[in-house]
Structure 1
Amino acid sequence: MPLTNAEKQRRYREKRDSDPNRRAEFLARCKSKYQSDIGVGKRKRIIEMTPREQRKQRKEWRKIKSKQRKRKKSNHTILTPPSSPQPALEQIPPEHHSTRRKKRLMAKCYRDNDQLRLEIAKQKRLAHRLQMRLLRLKRKSSLNTPTGQDTPRSKARKLLRHWSTEKGEGSRAKRRLMKNQAKKALQFQYTLNAELMNKYRSKNKGKQALSQIIRGKLMRKYKIITEAVNEFRFTAGRQRQKKGSLSKRLTDRVCSFYERDDISRITPGIKDTVTKNGIKKQRRVMTESIEIIHERFILENTDIKISYPTFCRMRPFWVQPPKDSDRETCACKYHENMQFLVNSLHGLNCLPSKRLQEIVKMFACDINKMDCMYGRCMECKDVILQSETDSTINTEWFQWKTKKETRLINNQEKEVTLTVKEKVTDSIDCLIDTFSSEMQRFKVHTFNITNQFNHYRKMKENLKENEVLIHIDFAENFLCKLSTEIQSMHFGASKQQITLHTGVYYTKGRTQTFCGVSDCLDHNPSAIWAFLDPILDRIINENKNVDTLHFFSDGPCSQYRQKGNFFLLSKEMSKRGLQATWNFHESGHGKGVPDGVGGTLKRTANDLVLRGKDITSAKSFVESIQEQESLVMLYEVVKEHIAEKTHLLASQNLKAVPGTFKLHQIRTSICGEIWYRDVSCTCVESCSEYGHNWKKAVLIVNSKHVQEKDREDSNLRGLIPEESGSKKSEEDKEAKTKYKKSCDHQEPDGYVPKDSDSSTREAFFLKTLNNLASCTTFTDVHKMCTKIQNEIERQQFNIDYNYFPSILNTGISVDEDSLQIFQGYFSERIT
């Protein structure tokens, strides 16, 4: 007979344990396995377990130890031979008991037993009397018949009990009777089910009534709702919540609050979508817990009283809590480093909480005031962290740092920049100093985040008829795909990428998303304005009253926040006769609608590839998605258009704007000049708050700006002053040559060169300025200005006059004509 598995294992263990070396190796392997399990967390030590797990584990240990003791005892009894000779039994003297006391105790026991027997008999008689009284009441009552008292379960049990009894012991007639009763009961059930299904198959109201029956109390009590649902073939869903006026009035308001960019961030992934009831939405991930979001809603909307359960119920289905798959890979460096410091200080009991929002409130009077957050408040600027622990003790914390490293690439040493997460070990005193210095920068960072989001929301809600809000961003490049690819192409470097510049613009009554697509992979200012040109043309054509544009974007210095973009903004606005502001979100916090647009388009393109479409270029990308009747405005930008912008930008000698990293808002309407400030605000000119004052920056460093500045400083008339003490650039020489040629070539009055002939146009303006500077009397200035004004009106130029000099400060002599025109102006100033 073959051995069983248990017998085989037993023989293997006996053979292994018989050899001391094999036994030692086995124990060493078990110990190593135990240590590795402890290291990876597969097993826990008793100190690492929760109290409940500890109790359970100790109970198991007690059981095992008890079995081990019993097994040892039984083995000892079996294996130990009896002692020979057996020892003689010791004679134990009997204990002396009092016979009288023993009799008294026995008599008391007998008396107690007799009394208890009488009590039991009395209670039995009482129970029997009450039972018979209840039975007589039941028989007399016409309402409470035995059939009415039986529950569905008791009826079923009676039927089965009588059926089994009569089947084994009863006569044939009784068995036939029980069989007929069971048959009638089952036939009644099936007939009733069929009748209900036929009655309410096509009536919604009937289905609702049947659904309420299925959700009844008895169905839930006997747990047969699932069987009823399977029988009637429709779901017994939850009862519809009746929405009152409060819910209807607040639904849109709560939904818009959940969709705010500071409350939830949109996921840019292609597959990050949620579908419910046929509605497909891009997922949004909440940045904080729903409890904190509810608190913020209550604080911002003091006129509304909404409970936490209602607030949770009104949450849109596409706004969800973060999951493990939503791991943040675009986290903010400021927030992460500050969180590391706070975690370490909280572990040392130096801070009461780990939440950054609560920690910031400890170091500022009001987190909504710029003076407090920028360290200019006299009350809170000197608040420091106090610690009672020994400051000389070393501690550890993490920090994200950027460092340079030398690597050998193609037998050449090259220096590369890496971003690493390092562990810092230093004293608690150093940790507190680092926290104090970083806290001031973090307060500024936090205020800028909130301020920029609030400004964006207010601007979008309060747009005027003549204003347009444009939010733009670059999406991740799309990798061109074919429906069928060979192996060398799929895993090689043969695939082409295309650039997606996504955005959305808002007008008074309309919202339109757009996306520019190009085979050029540049993300510089030249590419940005090549992508924006078609959008600006469409906005102007659709809205004739528009004269102000508000741009919003994130702030990478290689794309939007740099002098090249500032110059092209001023030039394009001056060319179109528009005013514009450009606002930047705080670094690391610029997610918005454009990210969702990019994810939607790339997901659509991937679906088309799966259906057999080939997308190999920007043109095929645009054509394929336009065939799907997408609501996103798609257009292609060719490389030649980007090259034109690049050539225009390269021909300018631009000057960097001081404090480019700190500015968050600029405005312009004149080519080459911008006004900028640290934070975005709706105030235009006069504002007393710190950081809201406008600063002027001249971007172009060339002869025109130098000549105008020198002329204002020297108050010379006639010729343009020469530069002294510095070497003239080639551009200055070229401009003067053009000026001399323009003076030699006389053009008719009112001639203004076309925009395409920029060099001749510049020479014309130089000539006009020279003619104005050569005027010596007021009559000459009046005639020249009248001529220029007529030409401006004829050409329909859009010029902002923001400088009104006094006649007395120009050095022009006051003649009789000026006294007649400006009567009363000189009476008090000239004697």
Structure 2
Amino acid sequence: MAKTGAKRAKAYRERINKDKVKHEQVKIKARQRNISILRKLTGKALENFRVNTNYRQRKCRLKKHKRLINNKPSSFQNCQSFGKAMKKVTSALQCNKKKKDVIQHLAQKYNLVPKSVQQRTCANISDQIKNAVHKFYLKDDVSYQLPEENKGIIISRSSFADLRPPFVVPKAALAHRICVCIYHENANLILKAIDKFVKGNVCSSLQQFTGTLVCNTVNQECMFPACPLCESNFQEKVIDNVVSAATRIKWWQCVNIHGRAEKKEFEGSVDEAVELLKSKVKYFLFHVYIKRERSNYFEQLKSEVTDEKVVIQVDFAENFGLKEQDEIQSAHWNRKTL
């Protein structure tokens, strides 16, 4: 079947485009032919030629602009080819989770699907827990953190710190601790020295040590000590669990030297330190019980305060130093107190 004129012209242009040299020659001939035709135009014909040329150029620029802005919605020629590709990818994703994760990540990277935003869940603290923490801060017998004091309350460390009243000052803000009880301090200094030589974490803290020695810390017979059930606890829980008893260690004690209280370092074996601790247990337990009962009674008095009843706590004061105006330098070491 013979080709039409349009098909023959299309085939001719395709052959010319394949040969770059011949294509340039054809373009030069066409340009010269158009110039010769343009020179022959005059009057109305020249004006129409210019209008048509401007219209073609404007139309060509609009097509280029649309081609740059409007991306092709799909690279598939028809819906059937797109459906086949979707079927292959879907069957592959069901078998390989890694491919699914990669495609999901690429889709989020190129903004094809919105990125998933992780929502942080913040647990609201109830007013009951806030009041419990506030009362815990105001207790006079609490001077350090007690991790297992309130097992029924679940609260994070940061939230616990945020609920601290401004008038409750943490230890880190204080220069140093003073007016420490000599019974507690001497027992605590020995416990620190022998802790790693006694099995079972019995000597890890004063609270743990006190609870190990007696059946009940609120029972007067156990704390004095007069309870037959716990009188041998020190032997069973401390002395029998000592390891490396002959090891030489050092410990500190607060002693009275020439009327002045000083902290002195001692050296001896683990057995000697344990025997020293044993000699202090009786007075230590007695002092702990009296101190706790006194504190409980003071808390009871504060809870019973009314509009007609007040509770005043009077503490001892340090002596005042007597100074003189225009005092000489050597008088600093012979100053009297009142």
Give TM-score, length-normalised by structure 1: 0.23
Q: Tell me what 1:430 maps to.
A: 272
Match of 2:139 in 1: 260
Question: In structure 2, do the counterparts of structure 1 residues 308 and 379 end up closer, same or farther at CA, with 3 Å as the change threshold?
Answer: farther
- 2:193 is paired with a residue of what secondary structure? helix
Spell out the pairing of 1:308-707 with structure 2 (5 A cutoff).
308-309=156-157, 310-323=159-172, 325-350=174-199, 352=201, 353-383=203-233, 384=235, 385=238, 386-389=240-243, 391-404=245-258, 417-463=259-305, 467-476=309-318, 488=326
Aligned mates of 2:308, 2:331 — CA distance in 1? 48
Structure-2 change in CA distance of 1:349 and 1:464 (3 Å): same
- Contact 1:254–1:311 (8 Å) recurs in 2: yes
CA root-mean-square deviation: 4.1
Residue 331 of structure 1 aligns to a residue whose secondary structure is coil
5+ unaligned residues in a row in structure 1: which ranges?
Answer: 1-134, 142-148, 152-240, 264-286, 405-416, 495-520, 523-831
Q: SS of the counterpart of 1:457?
A: helix
Deviation at 1:307, TM superposition (A): 1.6
Using a 3 Å threshold, how does the CA distance of structure 1 residues 419 and 479 change in structure 2: closer, same or farther? closer
What is the CA deviation profile of residues 163-216 of structure 1, one whole-angstrom value per residue up to 9, with x for unaligned ones?
Answer: xxxxxxxxxxxxxxxxxxxxxxxxxxxxxxxxxxxxxxxxxxxxxxxxxxxxxx
The letter for the 1-side match of 2:139 is: R
**Cα deviation per residue 1:503-557 (whole Å; 9 max; x = unaligned)?**
xxxxxxxxxxxxxxxxxx86xxxxxxxxxxxxxxxxxxxxxxxxxxxxxxxxxxx
* Residues 211 and 217, structure 2, Cα contact 8 Å, conserved in 1: yes
Residue aligning to 2:144: 288
Q: What residue is the counterpart of 2:22 in the other structure?
A: none
Matching residue of 1:638: none
Distance verdict in 2 for CA 1:136–1:257, change over 3 Å: same
Distance in 2 of aligned mates of 1:136 and 1:479: 92
3-state SS of the aligned residue for 1:423?
Answer: strand
Q: 3-state SS of the aligned residue for 1:337? A: helix
Q: Any idea what SS the aligned residue of 2:281 has?
A: helix
CA contact (8 A) 2:197 2:242 kept: no
Distance 2:231 2:299 in 1: 29
Q: Residues 317 and 490 (structure 1 numbering): CA distance in 2 closer, same or farther, change over 3 Å? A: farther
Distance 2:68 2:217 in 1: 80
**1:391 Cα deviation from its structure 2 partner:** 3.9
What per-residue deviation string (whole Å, max 9, x for no partner) do you get for residues 96-117 of structure 1?
xxxxxxxxxxxxxxxxxxxxxx
Amino acid at match of 1:314: L
Amino acid paired to 1:421: K
Q: Which has the higher contact order (CA 8 A, sep 6+)?
A: 2
Going by fraction, where is strand more abundant, 1 or 2? 1
Change (3 A) 1:326 1:137: same
Letter in 2 for 1:488: D
SS of 1:330's equivalent?
Answer: coil
- Matched residue of 2:171: which SS? coil
> Match of 1:139, as an amino acid?
N
- DSSP 3-state at the match of 1:288: coil
Q: What is the deviation of 1:466?
A: 6.6
Change (3 A) 1:403 1:257: same
Secondary structure class of the residue paired with 2:253: strand
How is 1:122-141 mapped onto 2 (pairs within 5 angstroms)? Answer: 139-140=71-72
Report the alpha carbon displacement of residue 324 of structure 1 after superposing the two structures with TM: 7.4
Amino acid at match of 1:257: F
CA separation of 1:252/1:488 partners in 2, compared to 1, >3 Å: closer, same or farther?
A: farther
Kindly provide the CA deviation profile for residues 667-705 of structure 1, in whole angstroms up to 9, marking residues without a partner as x: xxxxxxxxxxxxxxxxxxxxxxxxxxxxxxxxxxxxxxx
Contact 1:342–1:351 (CA under 8 A) maintained in structure 2: no
Report the residue type matching 1:424 in the other structure. Answer: F
Q: How far did 1:457 drift? A: 0.9
SS, match of residue 326 in structure 2: helix
Query: CA separation of 1:382/1:243 partners in 2, compared to 1, >3 Å: closer, same or farther?
Result: closer
SS of the equivalent of 1:323 reads helix
Determine if contact 1:365/1:380 at 8 Å carries over to the other structure: yes
Q: Residues 18-417 of structure 1: matches in 2 within 5 Å?
A: 139-140=71-72, 246-247=126-127, 249-263=128-142, 287-289=143-145, 292=146, 295-296=148-149, 298=150, 305-309=153-157, 310-323=159-172, 325-350=174-199, 352=201, 353-383=203-233, 384=235, 385=238, 386-389=240-243, 391-404=245-258, 417=259
Q: Alpha-carbon deviation of 1:261?
A: 1.6
Q: Which string of whole-angstrom CA distances, capped at 9 and with x for unpartnered residues, describes residues 50-89 of structure 1?
A: xxxxxxxxxxxxxxxxxxxxxxxxxxxxxxxxxxxxxxxx
In structure 2, give the amino acid aligned to 1:261. Answer: D
Q: Partners in 2 of 1:138 and 1:369 — Cα distance?
A: 88
Per-residue CA deviations over 1:252-295 (Å, capped at 9, x if unaligned) read 443232022212xxxxxxxxxxxxxxxxxxxxxxx213xx2x53
- What letter matches 1:354 in structure 2? S
Contact 2:223 2:289 survives alignment (8 Å): yes
- 2-structure distance, mates of 1:475, 1:251: 36
- Structure 2: how far apart are the matches of 1:478 and 1:447? 33
**Does the C-alpha gap of structure 1 residues 490 and 475 become closer, same or farther in structure 2, counting only changes over 3 Å?**
farther
Query: Once the 2 structures are TM-superposed, how far is the Cα of residue 400 of structure 1 from its aligned partner?
Result: 1.3
Paired with 2:185 and 2:70, the residues of 1 have a C-alpha distance of 76
Partners of 1:398 and 1:419 in 2: CA distance: 13
| 1:477 to 1:344, Cα distance in 2 relative to 1, 3 A | closer
CA contact (8 A) 1:345 1:351 kept: no
Q: In 1, Cα distance between the equivalents of 2:260 and 2:328? A: 29
CA shift for structure 1 position 317: 2.9
CA gap 1:465/1:140 in 2 versus in 1, 3 angstroms: same
- Identity across matched positions, percent: 22
Secondary structure at the residue paired with 1:473?
Answer: coil
- Deviations 1:308-347, CA, capped at 9 Å, x for gaps: 3443331123324322753113222112211121112113
Tell whether the 8 Å contact from 2:248 to 2:270 is kept in structure 1 after alignment: yes
Pick closer, same or farther for the CA change 1:473–1:402 going to 2, 3 Å. same
Structure 2: runs of 5 or more not aligned: 1-66, 74-108, 112-121
Residue 256 to residue 138, structure 1, CA distance change in 2 (3 Å):
farther
- Structure 1 residue 360 displacement after superposition: 1.3
3-state SS, counterpart of residue 326 of structure 1: coil
Question: For the structure 1 residues 430 and 478, does the alpha-carbon distance in structure 2 shift closer, same or farther, using more than 3 Å as the test?
Answer: closer
| Structure in which a larger fraction of residues adopt helix | 2
